[in-house]
Structure 1
Amino acid sequence: MAGTDEALGTSDAVRAYFGDRYEVAHHYYEMLRDEGERRGLIGPREVERLWERHLLNSAAVTAHIGEATSVADIGSGAGLPGIVIAIMRPDAAVHLVEPMERRTQWLDEVVATLDLSNVSVKHGRAEEYDGALEVDAVTSRAVAPLSKLARMSLPLVRPGGEMVVLKGRNVEREIEPARKVLRRFRASEPEILEGTTVPGVESTTIVRVRRG
Structure 2
Amino acid sequence: MTDDVSRETETPSVPGEARRVFPSDRLPLAERYAELLGTEGVVRGLIGPREAPRLWTRHVLNCAVLGEWVPEGSTVADIGSGAGLPGIVLAIARPDLAMTLVEPLLRRTTFLGEVVDELGLDHVEVVRGRADALHGERRYDVVTSRAVAPLGRLLEWSMPLVDAHGALVAMKGSSVAAEIEEAAPVLERFGCATPEVRELGVDVLEETTGAVRVSWADPASVSWPRTTGAAPRATSSRRRSGSSRKRR
TM (norm. structure 2) is 0.80
The question of whether the paired residues in 2 share the 8 Å contact of 1:56 and 1:197 is answered with no
Number of residue pairs aligned between Structure 1 and Structure 2: 208
Distance 1:160 1:16 in 2: 29
Identity %: 49
For the residue of structure 1 that corresponds to 2:22, the secondary structure is: helix
Matches within 5 A, 1:25-40: 25-40=30-45
Correspondence 1:24-63 to 2 at 5 A:
24-63=29-68
The answer to whether the 8 A contact 2:100-2:127 is kept is yes
Matched ranges for 1:71-90 at <5 A: 71-90=76-95
SS of 2:184's equivalent in the other structure is helix
Preserved contact between residue 14 and residue 198 of structure 1 (Cα < 8 Å): no
Partner of 1:203: 208
Q: Which residue of 2 aligns with 1:18?
A: 22
1:199 positional shift: 4.5
Q: Residues of 1 paired with 2:41 and 2:144: CA distance?
A: 21
Structure 1 runs (4+) deviating above 3 angstroms are 197-200
Deviation at 1:43, TM superposition (A): 0.9
The answer to whether residue 105 in structure 2 is matched with residue 100 in structure 1 is yes
Q: Deviations over 1:85-107 (max 9, x none)?
A: 11111111100000101100000
1:125 aligns with 2:130: yes
Per the alignment, residue 64 of structure 1 pairs with 69
Tell me the secondary structure at the aligned position of residue 43 of structure 2.
coil
Gaps spanning 5+ residues in structure 2: where?
1-8, 220-248
Distance 1:191 1:200, change over 3 A: closer
Are the aligned partners of 2:20 and 2:204 in contact in 1 as well (CA < 8 Å)? Answer: no
Deviation at 1:66, TM superposition (A): 2.1
Within the candidate set 173, 177, 180, 2:178 is matched to 173
- Contact 1:68–1:137 under 8 Å retained in 2: no
Higher alpha-carbon deviation: 118-127 or 29-38: 29-38
Secondary structure in structure 2 of the residue aligned to 1:83: helix
CA deviations on 1:170-208 (whole Å, 9 max, x unpaired) are 210011221222223221111110011665521111000
More helix by share: 1
Once the 2 structures are TM-superposed, how far is the Cα of residue 138 of structure 1 from its aligned partner? Answer: 0.2
Q: Is the 8 A contact 2:152 2:182 kept in 1?
A: yes
CA distance in 2, matches of 1:177, 1:17: 33
More moved, 145-154 vs 27-36? 27-36
Q: TM-score, normalised by structure 1?
A: 0.93
Q: Is the 8 A contact 2:201 2:209 kept in 1?
A: yes
Does the C-alpha gap of structure 1 residues 198 and 140 become closer, same or farther in structure 2, counting only changes over 3 Å? same
- Bigger Rg, structure 1 or 2: 2
- After superposition, the CA RMSD in angstroms is 1.6
